[in-house]
Structure formats: C-alpha cells, structure tokens
Amino acid sequence: MSEKGQPEGTATEASALALEYKDGQPVITVSGGTAIPPKVTVVDEQGNPVALYCAEAITKPQARAAFTTADHALIYEAEHGLFDVSYAAAWTLGR
C-alpha cells in the first residue's frame, strides 16, 4: 500500500466500484481492473466519513466448490491487501 492508502500498482489494475440496488437491496458492483480494496470508506457530500465497509477474507476456493453468488468466489490476497476478482468474474460470465 502507498502512503495515501492506495493499492500499489498502476491505475489500470484498480477496479471501479458502483452502488446499485437490486430487488431493493444495495449491492456494490465491481467492474474493470483486477484489484479492489478490502476496505471502502463512504463519505457524505462534504467529504466527511460516514461508514466503513470491510470485506471478509476467504481462502482460495476449492476447484469444485459450488458458488451461489460471485461474492462467494472472491479471493483475498493478504500479501497485497486486495481481492482477486478473477473467479468472481468467471462465475458471472458463466451463469
């Protein structure tokens, strides 16, 4: 991590996060890139922090694991402090 708390690497590696609502429930959608931060700070219109979302760390999924959502396929890489979204993306494409 850099001094500013940004993931190290190029900007093209960072994924974009968007908040959407599906069936009335808020869902964070990840698009592009290969890495997302394990913690996301939510700020109000004035830039004041109002919430912090933290993702759970999971181990690498088993080759035959049956995922019910793409979130179940996220892999936390503790060494880099980021999530590998490759399995989640593949699950989404294959459903």
pLDDT at residue 22 in the model: 84
Report the alpha-carbon distance of residue 95 to residue 77 in Å, rounded: 25
- When pLDDT is averaged across residues 74-79 and rounded to a whole number, the result is 83
64: in domain:
yes
Retrieve residue 63's tokens.
Answer: 């080759």
4: in domain:
no
Q: Which domain holds residue 83?
A: 11-94
3: in domain:
no
Total-model pTM: 0.38
pLDDT at residue 57 in the model: 60
pLDDT at residue 1 in the model: 42
- When pLDDT is averaged across residues 63-74 and rounded to a whole number, the result is 75
Tell me the per-residue pLDDT of 10-66, one tens digit each, with 9 for 90 and over. Answer: 555 778 888 888 888 888 788 887 777 778 888 888 999 998 888 776 566 555 557
If one counts the domains in the chain, the total is 1
